[in-house]
Amino acid sequence: MRKRVNTEFWMILPALVVLAAITVFPFIYTVRLSFMHYPMIQIRSPEFAGLENWIRMFQDPKVRFYWWVTLKYVVGALSCEMILGILIALLLNKIRALEDFFTTLTISPMFFAPVLVGLLGRFLLHDSYGVYAYFLHQVGLFKGGSIFGQGTSALLALIGLDIWEWTPLVIIIVLAGLKALPSEPFEAASIDGATGWNKLWYLTLPMLKPVIFVALIIRTMDVMRYFAKIFITTRGGPADATKIVSIAVYDQAFQAYRMGYAATLTLSMLVVTIILGILFVRFFFGQGE
Amino acid sequence: MKKGQAKLSWMSKLGLLIIFGIFLFWWLFPVYWMVSSSLKVEVEMFTIPPRWLFKPSLGNYKNLFATLGFSSYVINSIIASLSSTAIALLLGSLAGYGLARGKIPRKNDIAFWMISTRMAPIVGVILPLYLIFRKLHLVGTLQGLIIAYTTFNLPFAVWLMRGFFMEIPRDMEEAAMVDGCSKFQAFLYVALPLAKPGLVAMGVLCFMFAWNDYAFAVIFTSGKTQTLPVACARLMTEYGIVWGQVMTTGTVLVAPVLFLGVVIRKYLVRGLTMGAIK
């Protein structure tokens, strides 16, 4: 018996050691950094700053604004992705024969590198030769100027790019959920004379709740985490209108060279992520099995 | 019909097809536009209203690989992505098996901790790694980039491989051990081959995460070590954006992962929801 334990322990050990080295150690480093003034170009040597970075973060109205932008971006992208994704999945579920064909075609945006999605967005929405911009002009939805040059339209465009790229993921998640639904409740409801809409509202959607929740949390975390798309299109501008917290951290670290303050902002993001992560794990994997 | 659905009439089927058609157009148009732009000569790219018929030319591809030397960036991307995938799969399948089968105290806590490292904000991972790598002279090297990619691919591989191994019945491994196999041999010759489809799918996803990365690569590589996404973004210069080359690089960037992704599409949901939905 003792031997078995040993084998498996040795199997886990390499991954454990590597992960500790590349994630735990950097995490501790980040916490330490948040209590320091640490200019990246070391004209001055790093010095202990106490709680200065933390106090600054809580007092900085800009930080609140970055979170506000993040919230708008997350809610805007997520609400459209979820509604659209669920609707399309429900429809696709009706035509089983074509399902594989359609999913194969719709998943393609997910494989685009975020940076490429941003570049494509710039190309398609360019004020003088963008096809989408031309189309929007023709329809009369957008008049004049550059789409990425104005705060509201830039944020909407970024939300649009995210919807384009990630709605397919919501679709395939919901489809997987639909396939796993038991058929008995639906048969019983049919015998009782329930209409299609009744079944959708009182059976399908409530039973899909956990699946929808998974999609929601995964997408929320990813929308907050990934910033390449914004980085390559607006870099947070114009006038910070698209500066989500990730971009703000990047700017503090690699533009303003305030590594200590950037670390503090990072940790505040981490707190939000941890809350989401705990929700995710608690709901879907249970504890301890 | 399954699930008590009423059979759809011919008309509503047509209606659904039209709705899908519109969405498919929306999803696929940018893909078409990118690929077709890469095959256009500069003048035709910027014609507004767009010209739908054009003579395809491979000029952009020739230019990119023969003149601008993009093949070295492709090679960098392949080296970085494949190495981190190999590390993730090797250590990940070992640890995943250990966590699925072993009698190890608090093994579920260990597994949860591992996957939680994957959820950390990307900038939050880049920031300390950058300062540490600077001290170790790893900034600007592919080795550094491979280590950086391992921070997200290894937890991913451990977690999903653990899930795959937990689904394989123990009986066969136990039978092998009765026949004199060691625990490790049972893993190598019995469990691992059974988990092969999952292993392959996870490999593709790990490769994709690394291949598509820009955020890490733009910080950790420079000059000769830059990867394809970084080189693609560098085509934006002060004088403007060389769109023909951007679209060509984009096509080269998307083609392999799109192909691989479609091949493993049955595992996509599982991989991208970190195993929450199978």
- The answer to whether the CB atoms of A273 and B120 lie below 8 A apart is yes
Identify whether A219 is part of a domain: yes
Q: Which of B3, B127, B158 sits opposite A262 (nearest CB)?
A: B127
Do residues B123 and B41 share a domain? no
Q: Which residue of A8, A105, A181 is in closest CB contact with B3?
A: A181
What is the model's pLDDT at position B209?
A: 94
Mutant choice from A23, A91, A163 vs B, greatest count of B C-beta within 10 A: A23
In a domain, A109, yes or no: yes
8 Å CB contact of B45 and A168: no
Cα(B137)–Cα(A97) distance, integer angstroms? 56
Domain span at A121: 34-285
Q: Which residues of A touch B106 (CB under 8 A)?
A: none
Among partner residues A5, A15, A164, which is closest to B104 by beta-carbon distance?
A5
Is-contact A53 A199, C-beta < 8 A? no
Tokens of B233: 């973004």
Whats the size of chain A, residue-wise? 289
- CB-side neighbour CA atoms (13 Å) of A45: 0
In a domain, A240, yes or no: yes
Do B75 and B108 fall into the same domain? yes
Overall domain count for chain A? 1
Please give the model's pTM, rounded to 2 decimal places: 0.90
B250 and A91 in contact by Cβ < 8 A? Answer: no
d(CA B144, CA A104): 35
pLDDT tier for residue B269 given thresholds of 50, 70 and 90 = confident
- The per-residue pLDDT for A5 is 53
A265 vs B19 pLDDT, higher one: A265
Q: Quick check: is A27 in a domain? A: no
Handedness of CA A15, B129, A219, B261 (dihedral sign): negative
A9 belongs to a structural domain:
no
Report CB contact under 8 Å: B91, A285.
no
Whichever domain contains A111, its CATH number is 1.10.3720.10
B1: pLDDT strictly greater than 60: no
Distance in angstroms (rounded) separating the CA atoms of residues B12 and B18: 10
Confidence of residue B55 (pLDDT cuts 50, 70, 90): confident
Distance CA B96, CA B110 (A): 11
Q: Take residue B237 and report the two structure tokens written for it.
A: 């210069």
- Establish if B22 touches chain A: CB-CB under 8 angstroms: no
CATH of the domain at B227: 1.10.3720.10
Residue B6 CA to residue A199 CA, distance in Å, equals 11
Co-location of B12 and B79 in the same domain: no
Average pLDDT value for chain B = 88
Asked if residues B56 and B39 have their Cβ atoms less than 8 Å apart, the reply is yes
- Flag whether A25 is in a domain: no
Determine contact, residues B176/B189, Cβ cutoff 8 Å.
yes
Is residue B228 predicted with pLDDT exceeding 90?
yes
> What is the rounded average pLDDT of the residues B91-117?
88
Domain containing residue B259: 67-272
Question: Do B145 and B172 sit in the same domain of this protein?
Answer: yes
- B15: in domain: yes
State which amino acid sits at residue B116. S
Residues B100 and B204 in one domain: yes
B169 and B38 within one domain: no
Same domain, B157 and B242: yes
Residue of A nearest to B274 (CA): A218
Q: How many CB pairs under 8 A join A and B?
A: 292
B21: confidence class by pLDDT, cuts 50, 70, 90: confident
- Measure A160 CA to nearest chain B CA, in Å: 11
Structural domain total, chain B: 2
Packed helices B243-263 and A114-124: angle between N→C axes, nearest 10 degrees? 130
Rounded Cα gap, residues B153 and B87, in angstroms: 9
Residue B5 has pLDDT above 60, yes or no: no
Same domain membership, residue B19 and residue B108: no
How far apart are the C-alpha atoms of B27 and A208, rounded to whole Å? 25
The pLDDT assigned to A65 comes to: 95
Whether residue B239 is contained in a domain is answered as: yes
3-state SS, residue B40: coil
Residue A141 lies in a domain: yes
Q: Is B105 in a helix, a strand, or coil?
A: coil
CB contact under 8 A, B125 and A23: yes
- Nearest CB neighbour to A266, from listed B6, B13, B127: B127
Tens-of-pLDDT digits for all 289 residues of chain A?
A: 445 457 888 898 999 999 999 989 999 999 999 998 887 766 667 788 788 889 999 999 999 999 999 999 999 999 999 999 999 898 888 877 777 888 888 888 999 999 999 999 998 988 877 888 888 888 877 777 788 888 888 999 999 999 999 999 999 999 989 988 888 888 888 888 888 888 888 888 888 888 888 888 889 888 988 999 999 999 887 889 999 999 999 999 988 888 899 999 999 999 988 888 888 777 776 543 3
Helix/strand/coil for B222: coil
B48 → chain A, closest CA residue: A129
Which residue in A271, A242, A225 sits closest to A73, CA to CA? A242
Query: Is there a single domain that holds both residue B11 and residue B128?
Result: no
What whole-number percentage of chain B has pLDDT above 90? Answer: 48
B48 and B100 in a single domain? The answer is no
Please tell me which of the candidates A10, A116, A253 has its beta carbon nearest to residue B253. Answer: A116
First to last CA, chain B: 24
φ/ψ (deg, to 5) at B237 = -115, 175
**Does residue B278 sit within a domain?**
no
Cα A86 to Cα A211, A212, A284, B191: the distances in Å are 10, 8, 20, 37
Write out the two tokens for A187.
């048969």
Q: Is the CA virtual torsion B53, B56, B57, B60 positive or negative?
A: positive
Tens digit of pLDDT for each residue in A159-215?
999 999 999 999 999 998 998 888 888 888 888 888 888 888 888 888 888 888 888
Whether the predicted interface score ipTM is above 0.90: no
In what helix (H) or strand (E) does residue B27 lie, and over which residues does it extend? helix B10-38
Whose CA is closest to A226, among A117, A151, A65?
A117
The answer to the question of residue B277 being in a domain is no
Residues B170 and B211 in one domain: yes
How far apart, in whole angstroms, are the C-alpha atoms of residue B128 and residue A270?
14
Structure tokens at B81: 């992505």
> Which of these, B188, B189, B215, B225, lies nearest to B93 by C-alpha position?
B188
> In B39-120, where does DSSP find H-type helix?
42-45, 59-62, 70-101, 107-118
If you ran DSSP here, which 8-state letter would residue A258 be given? B
The answer to whether residue B180 neighbours chain A at the CB level (below 8 Å) is no
Report DSSP letters for B133-193, one per residue: HHHTT-TTSHHHHHHHHHHHHHHHHHHHHHHHHHHS-THHHHHHHHTT--HHHHIIIIIHH
Distance from CA of A93 to the nearest CA of B (A): 10
Asked if B83 and B47 sit in the same domain, the reply is: no
Residues 187-216 of B with CB under 8 A from A: 187, 208, 211-215
Domain assignment present for residue B62? The answer is no
Residue B264 amino acid letter: I
Report the candidate in B57, B121, B273 with the shortest Cα–Cα distance to residue A268: B121
* Rounded Cα–Cα distance for residues A242 and A222 (Å): 16
